[in-house]
Chains A and B, each alone.
Chain A
Amino acid sequence: MQDRSDFLDSEVLSRLAPLALHARFPMLGNVSGRHRSPIRGSSLEFAAYREYVPGDDLRRLDWRVHGRSDRYFVKQFEADTNLRLCLVVDTSGSMKYEAGGLSKLDYAKRLVGTLAYLAANQGDAVGLYCAGTGFHQQIDPKRNAAHLGTVLDELAITEATGETGLVSALHEAAERVPQRALFVVISDLFVDPEELGECFQHLRFRRHDVSVFHLIEQAEVEFEFDRPIRFVDLEGGASILADPTMIAKQYHAALHTYFEKLTESVREARVDYHRVALDEPYDDVLARFLLSRSPKGSK
């Protein structure tokens, strides 16, 4: 069992604290927050004009427009609300893959823990879904402070094992979370890209904002070995004895096809896709992620 300090770094948190987590699409929250809502509200952000109908608040009549056009218009403003952050972590056996002493799951935990902390800190609800062979742990989003502790504790005891069930887990999550939410998926995505694309389409259909951190190690891409290797499946399948020099070309071809399909899937579903190598500092990855989501003109 890991300690929270294994995936929460105070220096990283303090460095990222100025950066807010934004949703790319309007969210429906319970309380006021820093995210746009599809419902017009009373924020300072002007949204649009609408013709007056009886019953409207007279305080929102725009007299200047009346003076110019002799017609009654009401000014509408954006509503700010909070968001639900649903963190989906792939806990299949393949996430045990290590590079430089750091496994993919460890890296995922650092991303998840930091994001959960940042979201909770800005008043958003945080939920955690661990996707092994089906969900083996689900914590729905809540926004109280104690809930963050629950999420982090669960994260600490999560281990990678078994075959991946990411596809079914994402479909299930799409149905499970009724209101608009920000889904952040952290996985090596070793599943059929077309099936994965359907998951993303499902999430998008449910009006969720979807972001993906695709953890893939450089060695898995390059596949450079100079002598026969017995490859043991981290997800418990049969091992394969192969001469990499013989199959490298085919391996790269398969990888290339996979990436093409995956790129197509995320593009069609408008998924916020980030490919992450394990040797990349996770705070840089998160900073890039947060900055890319910031609305224009805000910090």
Chain B
Amino acid sequence: MTFLQPILLAGLPLVALPIVIHLINRWRHRTVQWGAMMFLLDAKRLTRGMAKLRFWLIMAMRMLAIAALLFAFARPLTSGWLGLAIGGQVETTIVLLDRSVSMEQLDPVSRVSKRSAALTQLSSTIQSVGSGSRVVLIESAENVARELDGGQPLSESLETSSTATSADIPGMLETALEYVTANQTGRTDVWICSDLRENDWNANDGRWSVMRERFQPLEGVKFFLLSYAETASDNVAVRVQNVQQRGAEGEREVQFDVLFRRESGDSVPQTIPCELVINGARSALNVELSGDSYLLQGHRVPIDDQQEGGWGRVEIAADENLIDNTSYFVFADPPVHRTVIVYEDAQVADALRIAATAPMDAGLSYEAELVTADRAEQIELDNTSLVLWQTELPDGVLADQLQAFVASGRPVIFFPPERGGDNTMFDIGWGELHESDGGEPHHVTTWRRESDLLADTSSGEPLGLGDLKTDAYRELVGDTGRSLARLDEGVPLLLRATTDGGPAYFWATLPVLGKSTLAQDGIVLYVSVQRALSIGAEAQSLSREVDTGSSAAQSIENWQPLDVRLNDVLLSQRWLNVGAYSQGERQVALTRPEAEDLANVLDADQVNGLFNGLDFRHVEQQVGSSGALTSEIWRAVLAVMVLAMLVEAILCLPERKEPVPA
């Protein structure tokens, strides 16, 4: 039990008042000359049993009444989870609300989502605990600290409504930290409402340690995590991927994969009826789901020859989470996968050309333009998907051109020049040349297998970087970005620079004999170039997919919805929800971040580890539980007091006198 006015508990010694009064009364006793001592002695002898018990009961009731009165004045709180250390006057309450897709999981009975339940419970808690304090909302979609007017309770509003986005909990905590330090918030309670999804919490993110270090010196900041980690028993998420428009005139069709994921991981067979809408035309299909997921691969739907692009939607029936039941996609003629190779070594250029033009998908067209270093200023980047740069890093206008190219979402891969080069791009430059001189070549020790250029194949097979031998490499200096592969001495072999927009990669070696076996083995070079080319082609495409809640999604605010159903979505909320929009020839499908379909949650130990060293309490809740987090119980305490007084009065009632025989 905790108290809103704990200072009043200092009066608890007053509980001893009845005993003190009793002792004073005994001390102030009268003296009476008495003759009928025989009855008095009998009475004293009989009093040793029940009467003494009655006396102590009366004392106990009086003490209880005083204690209850003091407790009532101290405004006690009770909660289903004892140990909550709310104490003192809270000056600021910061609410970090996870508005991710998974927070829309509904309780099967009450049909209340985790987000709504959190809002309701937190609202009542703030009203009781933090009444009078400043309330600041940081929701995951915008990650901006927003003060609520006049201590208004949290409620369903645009800022707290459902979204199809993911959350960045460490990022939200950074925002909270900035707010706390900038505003000197004093005694602050930080409430985090989340379902502990791994993708939202990014437990391995380096920002956690920074956040802990910066919060630790701040006095009076307490963290409360209101978690709803329970996964859905009956929820299937649907997602459309690998959308391609194929075929020549007269045989046009759109081909896509549909992925169904069952959150519970059950293996009970289940028939899932789907509605498929392509350019407004509806069709239906049933899918048999027997495992935790099912991939409907290469599903083809013929489309009108007159249309150069279009949109589609796949939707399944309502289940425990309505947000992940719909997936939008757009399609258009795929662009030519064009690569510009700027080189100073013809052998390198040749290897790169082969990697860039060997078709990965026979339905697509590939081409490459080779430009020598001295003609680099003449390159044409408008219809280019990828730039492979193997010469000195540019400066001036050419550097600006490349940065604009990257900013448009298309990638650049830099390879080291033979010599020289003080210029930098994206804060990275070339350093010294290291050669093995006939000695043992360098080997790759670690590389990022989960994502990016060197990720494992779709079948889960790793790329053969372990077999790669590097005889010579150039050191990468400056802001080293994110290393995708490292050599045995920890030297970065492939680096991804920190950029706004598309990616910029730096290979530290060249794909030629004597430098490395990149070209010799071929697979690693080919896959990495093709993956980069896909990224560029996608960015260049008239139709593209954008994750909801991303910065790219924000730009579609004034675009036209392709599905009439999307007309109801507020302009300001479009970027947070799935949909399909167009502007001119360009089309965008807003899709849920894929990681939101994965039901992995952090366990309590992991969460406690993230807040290690901070004043942190974890409140585990379930949607549908009716109990409030906290509630004032002064009425109950007063009732106890009244009850105690009643019992005391009854015990003090004068006993009926025995009639004296005549």
User: Which positions in A face B, CB cutoff 8 Å?
Assistant: 93-98, 104, 188, 190-191, 216, 220-223, 225, 227-235, 237, 239-243, 245-256, 258-260, 263, 275
Contacts and interface: CB of A to CB of B under 8 A. Distances in A.
Given A228-B25, A241-B29, A247-B43, A252 B657 contact: yes
Contacts of A246: 47, 51-52, 54-55
Contacts of B29: 227-230, 241
Contact of A256 (B41, B47, B658): B658
B655 A249 contact: yes
B565 interface: no
A258 B36 CA distance: 11
B570 interface: no
A175 B44 CA distance: 37
B32 A232 contact: yes
A33 B661 CA distance: 38
Given A227-B30, A228-B29, A242-B40, A190 B51 contact: no
A95 B54 CA distance: 34
A110 B34 CA distance: 22
Contact of A254 (B33, B42, B655): B42
A216 B652 CA distance: 28
A221 B42 contact: no
Contacts of B660: 221, 255-256, 259
A250 B32 CA distance: 19
Contacts of A245: 652
A263 B38 CA distance: 17
A74 to B, nearest CB: 47
B375 interface: no
Contacts of B661: 256, 259-260, 263
Contact of B26 (A104, A222, A228, A263): A228
Contacts of A188: 35-36
B39 to A, nearest CB: 4
B25 A231 contact: no
A255 B47 contact: no
Given A228-B25, A228-B26, A250-B47, A240 B39 contact: no
A240 B657 contact: no
Given A247-B51, A249-B51, A256-B661, A240 B37 contact: yes
A271 B424 CA distance: 132
A190 B33 contact: no
A233 B51 contact: no
Given A237-B37, A240-B41, A246-B47, A227 B25 contact: yes
B37 A231 contact: yes
Interface in B620-662: 652, 654-655, 657-662
17 contacts: A96-B33, A225-B30, A227-B30, A228-B25, A230-B29, A235-B35, A239-B31, A241-B29, A246-B52, A247-B51, A248-B43, A250-B43, A252-B655, A255-B658, A255-B660, A260-B661, A263-B661
Contact of A232 (B34, B42, B44, B659): B34
Contacts of A247: 40, 43-44, 46-47, 51
B39 A95 contact: no
Contacts of A93: 35
B35 A232 contact: no
A20 B85 CA distance: 92
Contacts of A228: 25-26, 28-30
B21 to A, nearest CB: 11
Nearest to B39: A254
Interface string B354-375: 0000000000000000000000
Given A188-B35, A246-B55, 13 more contacts: A104-B35, A188-B36, A221-B660, A229-B29, A229-B30, A230-B29, A234-B34, A240-B44, A249-B655, A250-B46, A251-B40, A254-B43, A256-B659
Contacts of B659: 256
B46 A241 contact: no
A233 B37 CA distance: 6
Nearest to A224: B654
A243 B35 contact: no
Contacts of A190: 35-38
A241 B44 CA distance: 10
Contacts of B54: 246
Contacts of A256: 658-661
Contact of A253 (B35, B654, B658, B662): B658
Interface string B1-44: 00000000000000000000000011011111111111111111
Contacts of B41: 240
Contact of B46 (A220, A240, A254, A263): A254
A221 B42 CA distance: 14
Given A227-B28, A228-B26, A256-B661, A234 B33 contact: yes
A227 B654 CA distance: 14
Contacts of A227: 25, 28-30
A231 B30 CA distance: 8
B658 A230 contact: no
A94 B36 contact: yes
Interface centre among A223, A234, A239, A249 (most CB of B within 10 A): A249
Given A249-B655, A250-B47, A256-B660, A220 B31 contact: no
Nearest to B659: A256
